[in-house]
Structure formats: C-alpha cells, structure tokens
C-alpha cells in the first residue's frame, strides 16, 4: 500500500525500528482500502462498499437496537415484539447485558491473540457456544442481545485491518448511549454532529 500511496502523490513516513509506514495525507475513504485489492482487478468497489456498510453497522447497530427496544416497538412486527422484546426476564438491564456480551467478545479476541493458533478454534467454541449459551440459559442475557452484539462484533472485525477499529469502538459506545437515553432523536443528533 505504501508504494501505491507514493505513486498517488502522497507521503510515506518511515520510522527506524518499526515495520509500518504512516501515509499522509489520508482521507476517510482510504481506510477502506486493503492491500490485496491492488493485486486484483475485479470486486474492489463492492468490497469497499461492503467495508463501508460494515463500518456503519458496527457503529450504529447497537444504538438502533437500544432505540427499538426502549422507544420504538412499532418498527418491529407485533409477533416479534411479543416473543422477543416484551418477555425479557433477564437479570440485568439491557445496557448491562450489551456491555457484558461486548466484554465477552473482547475477552475472546484477546485470548485468541495470546494463545497458540492451534487452540484458537477451541477457545472460540468454548467462549461462544458454552459461555454464550449458558448465559442465555441462566437468564443473564437475552438471546436477541447475543445475536445483535454478535453481528455488530463481526461487522467491526471486517474493518479492523483498515485501522478503524478503535474509532468504531468509541463511536459504537457513544451511539449505544445516545440510543439508550435519547432514542432516534439522539442517534440522528449523533450522526449530524
């Protein structure tokens, strides 16, 4: 990517002792480019559009979920509201549930980075299936919360290679609180700001 950036007229900053380069100036859309795209001719635009959608989903999905659960049940068909949202008899409030599942997924990521590659699948299965299923069975978290946070987490993993993961984590938390406390007006205000 550094050679391509230099070819495009940008500047690369190399620091002694680090294997990475800093490319300036950088536009927001440059974060959705991946190194393997420069070797293929087809699918670049679709892949970048998918990454942009994943970024948007990773920062907005939890806020939209909170907004629907707390303020806008009419957005969802009545039979789903009846079976998924009104019968929530979990121990923790919805905001605590979401943070618990996010913390669980962060533990899985950290564990998978620190252990040998041969045991990553075992740790993932234990964490996702055993701990997640046990938490749902013990009424610690709602099954829909587990699904929504899982989709959100997968969407944020697709943009991790571009350098937007930390930003998405901060914006996700911000929009989560905006959706929980202010609903749709808070989310729209957050997007405008």
Quickly state the pLDDT bin for 77 (edges 50, 70, 90). confident
3-state helix, strand, coil in the chain (%, to 5): 75, 5, 20
Question: What confidence tier does 177 reach under pLDDT thresholds 50, 70, 90?
Answer: very high
Looking at residue 86, what is its pLDDT? 58
pTM score of the predicted model: 0.77
The overall average pLDDT reported for the chain is 80
Q: What is the pLDDT of residue 125?
A: 75
What's the rounded Cα separation, in Å, for the pair 84 and 129? 20
Three-class secondary structure of residue 15 per DSSP: coil
Indicate the pLDDT class of residue 88, thresholds 50, 70 and 90: low
- In the block, tokens 């800093």 appear at 22
* d(C-alpha 149, C-alpha 169), whole Å: 13
Maximum average pLDDT range among 42-51, 68-77, 168-177: 168-177
More confident residue, 9 or 164: 9
Q: Is pLDDT above 70 for 26?
A: yes
pLDDT at 85: 64
CA nearest neighbour of 87 among 23, 163, 142, 44: 142
- Is the pLDDT at 147 greater than 60? The verdict is yes
- Mean pLDDT comparison of 11-20, 34-43, 86-95, highest-scoring range: 11-20
- Structure token pair of residue 107: 């533990």
Q: Examine the pLDDT at 116 and tell me if it is beyond 70.
A: yes
What percent of the chain is modeled with pLDDT above 90? 8
């Amino acid at each position: 990517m550094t050679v391509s950036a230099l070819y495009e007229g940008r500047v690369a900053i190399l620091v002694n002792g680090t294997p990475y380069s800093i490319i300036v100036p950088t536009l927001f859309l440059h974060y959705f480019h991946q190194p393997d795209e420069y070797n293929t001719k087809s699918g670049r635009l679709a892949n970048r559009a998918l990454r942009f959608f994943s970024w948007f989903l990773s920062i907005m999905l939890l806020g939209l979920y909170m907004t629907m659960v707390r303020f806008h049940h009419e957005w969802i068909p009545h039979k789903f509201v009846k079976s998924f949202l009104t019968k929530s008899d979990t121990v923790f409030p919805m905001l605590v549930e979401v943070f618990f599942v996010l913390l669980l997924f962060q533990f899985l990521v950290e564990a998978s980075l620190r252990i040998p590659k041969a045991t990553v699948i075992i740790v993932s299965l234990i964490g996702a299936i055993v701990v997640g299923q046990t938490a749902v069975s013990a009424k610690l978290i709602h099954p829909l919360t587990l699904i929504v946070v899982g989709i959100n987490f997968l969407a944020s993993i697709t943009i991790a290679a571009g350098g937007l993961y930390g930003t998405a984590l901060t914006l996700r938390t911000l929009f989560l609180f905006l959706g929980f406390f202010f609903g749709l007006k808070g989310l729209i205000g957050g997007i405008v700001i």
